[in-house]
Amino acid sequence: MARMGRVVAVANQKGGVGKTTTAVNLSASLVVAEQRVLVIDLDPQSNATTGLGISPRSVDRGSYQLLLGQASVTELAHPTELPGLDIVPATPDLVAIERELIDEPDAPQKLKQAIAEVRDRYDFIVLDCPPSLGTLTINALVASDFVVVPLQCEYYALEGLSQLVDTIDRVKHSLNPGLSIHGVLLTMFDPRNNLANEVADEVRRHFHVYETIIPRNVRLAEAPSYGKPVVLYDASSRGSSGYLNFARELLDGLEAA
Ligand SMILES: Nc1ncnc2c1ncn2[C@@H]1O[C@H](COP(=O)(O)OP(=O)(O)OP(=O)(O)O)[C@@H](O)[C@H]1O
Ligand SMILES: [Mg+2]
């Protein structure tokens, strides 16, 4: 029997913490480790879509149609420059999804239903969430096996986390009993910053924090404007090795479990 692909939500309702950078580069790094990976862009900002070389305005369908049940993953997935990495893009109409789903009793389960047909075709399905805890993130949490939480070590980092934890708990106790935070990924880390180190220690008291820490690295910020994951843009950069190490750590952890 084909192994069912694992569904990973990259979520944190705080903006700009590295969700999309993580979703794109974790996915590419998993492909380098010979996994078949699908990214689903669930953010109307379409950053993962652009970052993987697709112009959101050049495609007429994406995760919006997926959530409404108007098209299947098979119809919506695009190949990327990296063989083995596919993406369901986000188009600008995704901003309206909340309103579109409002009268649907099974609104939170739309994504789960939609990806069921391809779970044996991918080893990982990685969901890039928007910076909110609305319908899109709830759909991701309901569909996921676990959550990876990117976190930038700054003063208010932990404050928002309790809201995310509450939301994950609610989904766990209603629609997805197996759901958990797999770990917190420290991103844009600057080891010379004392506050960053203090926040990191505090996070470790409450959560499993991955051993891999993603450094602040300009290559990671540049790569999306070339429509490439960093491993194709500058494989020798510290950002690239950071995400390759993270993919390895994740795979080793899952194998051991
Ligand atoms: N490790 C890093 N080093 C340097 N720049 C980074 C790093 N990670 C992310 N960035 C940059 O920081 C900005 C925010 O990152 P990103 O878009 O991944 O965050 P996000 O959580 O997805 O944001 P949003 O909440 O808006 O979706 C982007 O410009 C990105 O290129
Ligand atoms: Mg993003």
For the CA of 43, the closest atom of ligand 1 is 27
Mean pLDDT, residues 101-105: 92
Q: Give the strand order in the sheet containing 78-79.
A: 78-79, 85-88, 37-41, 124-128, 6-10, 146-152, 181-187
The whole-number pLDDT of residue 185 equals 98
Contact predicate 185/246, CB 8 Å: yes
Segment 224-253, tens digit of pLDDT: 999 999 999 999 999 999 999 999 999 999
Does ligand 1 lie within 6 Å of residue 234's CB atom?
Answer: no
Segment 45-60, tens digit of pLDDT: 999 999 999 998 899 9
For the CA of 14, the closest atom of ligand 1 is 25
**Region of residue 53 (phi > 0: left; psi between -120 and 50: alpha; otherwise: beta):** left
**What is the pLDDT confidence band of residue 156, given thresholds at 50, 70 and 90?**
confident
Residue of 253, 131, 104, 122 whose CA lies nearest to 180: 253
Indicate the number of domains in the chain. Answer: 1
Q: Please check whether residue 112 lies inside any domain of the structure.
A: yes
Is pLDDT above 90 for 159? no
CA distance 126 to 6: 8
Is pLDDT above 90 for 78? yes
The whole-number pLDDT of residue 153 equals 87
The whole-number pLDDT of residue 154 equals 86
**Alpha carbon nearest to ligand 1 atom 14, residue:** 16
Q: Please check whether residue 171 lies inside any domain of the structure.
A: yes
Contact predicate 2/216, CB 8 Å: no
Q: Please check whether residue 19 lies inside any domain of the structure.
A: yes
151 pairs with which residues across the strands? 186
Q: Please check whether residue 180 lies inside any domain of the structure.
A: yes
Q: What share of the chain is helix, strand, coil (3-state, %, to 5)?
A: 45, 15, 40
Q: Where are the alpha helices (DSSP H) in the chain?
A: 19-32, 47-51, 63-67, 73-76, 97-100, 110-115, 135-143, 157-174, 194-206, 218-222, 230-233, 238-256
Is pLDDT above 70 for 2? no
> Residue 217 has which token pair?
């690295």
CATH no. for residue 197?
3.40.50.300
Is pLDDT above 70 for 1? no
Percent of the chain with pLDDT over 90: 90
Q: Please check whether residue 93 lies inside any domain of the structure.
A: yes
> Residue 60 has which token pair?
């007429």
CA distance 88 to 73: 7
Mean pLDDT, residues 124-153: 97
Residue of 79, 68, 67, 97 whose CA lies nearest to 39: 79
**What is the pLDDT confidence band of residue 160, given thresholds at 50, 70 and 90?**
confident
The whole-number pLDDT of residue 225 equals 98
For the CA of 21, the closest atom of ligand 1 is 18
Mean pLDDT, residues 68-97: 97
Residue with more model confidence, 8 or 158: 8
Chain mean pLDDT for the chain: 96
Segments forming the whole domain that contains residue 50: 6-256
The whole-number pLDDT of residue 191 equals 87
**Alpha carbon nearest to ligand 1 atom 25, residue:** 15
Is pLDDT above 80 for 3? no
The whole-number pLDDT of residue 4 equals 84
**Alpha carbon nearest to ligand 1 atom 28, residue:** 221
Q: Please check whether residue 1 lies inside any domain of the structure.
A: no
